[in-house]
A and B are shown apart, each in its own frame.
Chain A
Amino acid sequence: MATHKTLSKVNLTPPESRARPQNKMTLLQKARQRYFSNLLNSFLTLSVIIAFILILPPLLQWAIFDAVFIGSTQEACEVAAGACWLPIAARFDLFVYGFYPETETWRVNLVFAASFFTLVVLVWRRISMKLKLVYIVAFLPALIFVLLYGGVFGLDSVSSNKFGGLIITIFLGLIGSILSLPLGIFLALGRRSTRPVIRIFCVSVIELFRAMPMITWLFMGALVLQLFLPNGMEVDKMIRVVFILVLVSAASKAEIIRAGLQAIPVGQFEASAALGVGYWRTMSMVIMPQVLKVSIPAMLNSFIGMFKDTSLVAIIGLLDFLSVGMATMNSDEWGKYGIEVYIFVAMIYFVILFTISRFSLTLEKQLETGH
């Protein structure tokens, strides 16, 4: 009985809710809490600071204060104690435009601008997903092809063996990744097909391209493929390389999409089917929008990998961005300044890919909160 009494309890004035108490800290207090909260933390913080103090001044001294920026021949560098940035300045056009005709370089600049604008489009909230896809999958590749190759709309035609440097890197990286998206989707869907022929074909393509190094495929694309083509028919080397990159990257995208497909509840397929909607309509309007949304981060990740992998095309004789650097180091004139060239090449890769990775993080956050 006694326990019963204590259990029954009515609170006629339930406690009011109130604002969360603020704990205001000065910047110094915050810093102390973050970086010097205990002995280990303080030790780590101090080590990093000391390392910086030891490394940064000599680095700056070498890279900037003692470095040579002005001049056009290597003689200007002979006396300098620091870095010699002249090879980059001297060969800047080669780095960026390859052998692209000088009067037409505005077309390349436009391609670079459109590529950067793609990132803006990706995170632009006011643009619908559908429009983003159309821009990226249809408009951008068409624009890049037209601008770089020319031959239409009154643009002078430019042969792809004039491409070089950043043009090749960006062209292959972008086109390879973008065109592989539709193919990756079809491979992923085919892998789940109930028709054995389609399923086996798609599984074979995926596994074949995933399980062999890209270099072997590039060799095959560049050299072996030609043997199978009818006599006299020559396919542009750049296109052959794109073909290989698309297949390799489609295989990895197919796996990303497969994972996304598995995350979609079977009820989504059933609800659409129960309304009488056919397979392709269900896939394109109900399933894929949901799949793509969850796979975008992984896709951008695979794009970053792909972008770096384009440097492998040097092996079959294409002069990509990294190869221009190597060629510079091997030249008589600038052979001594390999470190500077490497640093420059690495920095450019870093700037491009770090930018992309930041944009992709923003996009990821948007997708988490948005619908």
Chain B
Amino acid sequence: MESIIKVNKLNKWYGDFHALVDVELNVSLGEKIVICGPSGSGKSTMIRCLNRLEEHQEGSIIVDDIELTHDIKNIEAVRSEVGMVFQHFNLFPHMTVLENCMFALRWVRKMPEKEAKEVAMQFLKRVYIDIHANKFPGQLSGGQQQRVAIARALCMKPRVMLFDEPTSALDPEMVSEVLDTMVELAEEGMTMLCVTHEMGFAKKIADRVIFMDAGRIVEEADPDSFFANPQSQRGKDFLSQILQH
């Protein structure tokens, strides 16, 4: 299998706080990975290192054969191949839904306006938001906004999609519409790394579950065996906690 992300001995500090410790990760093309772990375990930090929203101090990260260094050209090249969906959507409030999706197509991909509009509409249709294309993000529900955010990332035709708790800021009745979109995406073969505690989703699509604690990858397993029978004590504690809810 072609490898798309290679993380080697990654270490990251915030000040003196060691946030990621010797993290190793290999992601093959088409693989779907779910990352879970207690709050503060470094899940966001790790996933944000992959497109350099966070800078690492040691180790190497290679995405799509490009190593992430201080070189801004490399960083921008990686970012345009890696889509990211945030917990709080982060749509641009002063642009319409359509403009949000066209933005990077126009200025990163340098696409002519007409073509960018077609591509954007195509992806908005895919997340069933095309009828709201000319509304502003503030006029949509949380679930709709998150689907726009997914469409905005997909427009760039990324090779990998990163999700950082995409459903945890949503009202409960909107979680499934976003998860359904993500399942569809997974079924189409997208490479995905997803921080989430949605077990049903993980069981359905994940090839691998990564369990993190205190900045380390503690356990890696296929979802069925991890959720049924975690090997580490921390994994057991964590699962018993989220199962209480």
Contact = CB atoms under 8 A, between A and B. Distances in A.
B94 A293 contact: yes
A271 B76 contact: no
B80 A276 contact: yes
Interface string A265-282: 101101111111110010
Given A276-B80, A278-B76, A271 B92 contact: yes
Contacts of A371: 93-94, 136, 138
A281 B51 CA distance: 18
A118 interface: no
B93 A274 contact: no
- How many chain B residues sit at the interface, stated as a range, is 20 to 34
B104 A273 contact: no
Interface stretch (A20-28, A70-78, A284-292, A301-309): A284-292
B103 interface: yes
Nearest to A267: B90
B185 interface: no
B35 interface: no
B91 interface: yes
Main secondary structure of the interface of A (DSSP, over half): helix
B92 A276 contact: no
Contact of B90 (A268, A276, A285, A290): A268
B53 interface: yes
Contact of B156 (A268, A275, A285): A275
B142 to A, nearest CB: 14
Contact of A285 (B51, B77, B88, B107): B107
Contacts of B72: 278
Contact of B51 (A267, A268, A274): A274
Nearest to A271: B90
Interface of A: 265, 267-268, 270-278, 281, 285-286, 289-290, 293, 371
Those 5 A-B pairs whose CB atoms lie nearest each other, nearest first: A276-B80, A271-B90, A267-B90, A275-B104, A276-B79
Interface of B: 51, 53, 72, 76-77, 79-84, 86, 88, 90-94, 103-104, 107-108, 136, 138, 149, 152-153, 156
23 contacts: A265-B88, A267-B86, A268-B90, A270-B90, A271-B84, A271-B86, A271-B91, A274-B51, A274-B53, A274-B82, A274-B84, A275-B153, A276-B76, A276-B81, A277-B103, A277-B108, A278-B76, A281-B107, A286-B92, A289-B94, A290-B94, A371-B94, A371-B136
